[in-house]
Amino acid sequence: MAAPSGPTALRRIIGAEMKRLRRESGKTQQDVADALGVFPNALSRYEGGVSSMSNPLAEKLLEIYSVEDDRRAELLDLAKRSRRRRPKGEARAEVWQPVEDLIALERDASTIQAVSLQPVPGMLQTERYARAMLGRGKLGADVVEDHVQARLARAELLSKEEPVEYWAVLHEAVLRCAVGGPGTMREQLAHIANLAKQPNITIQVLPDSAGEHPAISGPFYILRFPIAPEYGVVYHDYLTGALYLDEPEEVTQYDDAYLHLIKMALSEQASLRFIKKLSQELYS
């Protein structure tokens, strides 16, 4: 999956769920294409998220697959949102373009698994830490402010009425990298420790002593969605862009890597003790 923009991410989610429903029904692409009056390659494009589907088309598919009313309403709403374009001239907070789809995916995710080598993941950052991170480049003050506010808005997903399940593995280097100075880091580590007390958030630290590990080549996120239970996306960013991987074979490899990492990392309780100890040693 190439780095997408706009509603592409939502098209991929509903396409993957339509593909699952078709397979569950025992029908081939040819069977469904014939019932819809379209060519099989057109159906393949819908299922792959390449083309957006109209609501009448989505309704026909859901009828073919005998989807119940409540579930049908959820999927039709997703289909509608996957076609939505921002009105021309509408103001929006400016964010790094490759992150736009990550933000869209986070809003619909039921679980987020994050592995960070540096820095602190965006959803866990304090405002001071975010400003220190974003202010180090050549961005203007207004752009930095937009980025900071967008990052803080992402964090609201952790405490909404039905919050996302968030599980982060933080390498020790994340805690040792003194972004913004001692005061900023004290506040940041205390914030992480407080977040870890929430029932939907799990924080584990991967210590230097763990040695080589599956994420040594780079950090990543794994996102999953209640509306498409078999669909997962791996997000991996780099200096000038980002990758979105959603081929099942690739996602499975990242799932395996993540399971290995949480076994290598300290337990939740030991991680909290480690964070507090390091904060006292480095930033008091």
Residue whose token pair is 């078999």:
230
For 50, phi and psi rounded to 5 degrees?
Answer: -75, -40
pTM: 0.83
The rounded distance, in Å, linking the Cα atoms of 187 and 283 is 10
pLDDT tens digits, 14-72: 999 999 999 999 999 999 999 999 999 999 999 988 888 899 999 999 999 999 988 99
**Strand order through the sheet with 228-238:** 201-206, 165-171, 111-116, 220-225, 228-238, 241-245
Task: Give the CATH H-level superfamily of domain 8-82.
Answer: lambda repressor-like DNA-binding domains (1.10.260.40)
Sign of CA dihedral 264, 195, 111, 176: negative
- Mean pLDDT, residues 144-148: 84
Tell me what pLDDT residue 96 has.
58
Query: Which of 1, 46, 3, 51 has its CA nearest to residue 21?
Result: 46
pLDDT band at 222 (very low <50, low <70, confident <90, very high): very high
Structural fold of domain 97-283: Endonuclease; Chain A (3.30.870)
The percentage of residues in the chain with a pLDDT greater than 90, rounded to a whole number, is 63
**Measured between alpha carbons, how far is 18 from 58 in angstroms, rounded to an integer?**
9
* Cα R_g (the chain), whole angstroms: 21
Provide CATH 3.30.870 ranges for the chain: 97-283
Q: How confident is the model at residue 6 (pLDDT cuts 50, 70, 90)?
A: very low
What pLDDT was estimated at residue 83? Answer: 82
Q: Percentage of the chain surpassing pLDDT 70?
A: 90
CB-based contacts of 93, cutoff 8 Å, min separation 6: 146, 147, 149, 150, 153
Distances (CA, A) of 65 to 54, 135, 281: 17, 51, 60
Query: What is the distance between the alpha carbons of residues 1 and 171, in angstroms, rounded to a whole number?
Result: 27
Average pLDDT, the chain: 88
**Among 58-67, 139-148, 192-201, 250-259, the least confident range:** 139-148
Q: Where along the chain do the CATH 1.10.260.40 domains lie?
A: 8-82
User: Tokens in use for 170?
Assistant: 């933080």
3-class SS string, the chain: CCCCCCCHHHHHHHHHHHHHHHHHHCCCHHHHHHHHCCCHHHHHHHHCCCCCCCHHHHHHHHHHCCCCHHHHHHHHHHHHHHCCCCCCCCCCCCCCHHHHHHHHHHHHCCEEEEEECCCCCHHHCCHHHHHHHHCCCCCCHHHHHHHHHHHHHHHHHHCCCCCCEEEEEEEHHHHHCCCCCHHHHHHHHHHHHHHCCCCCEEEEEECHHHCCCCCCCCCEEEEEECCEEEEEEEEEEECCEEEEECCHHHHHHHHHHHHHHHHHCCCHHHHHHHHHHHHHHHHC
Query: How do residues 111-125 score in pLDDT, each as one tens digit?
Result: 999 999 989 999 999
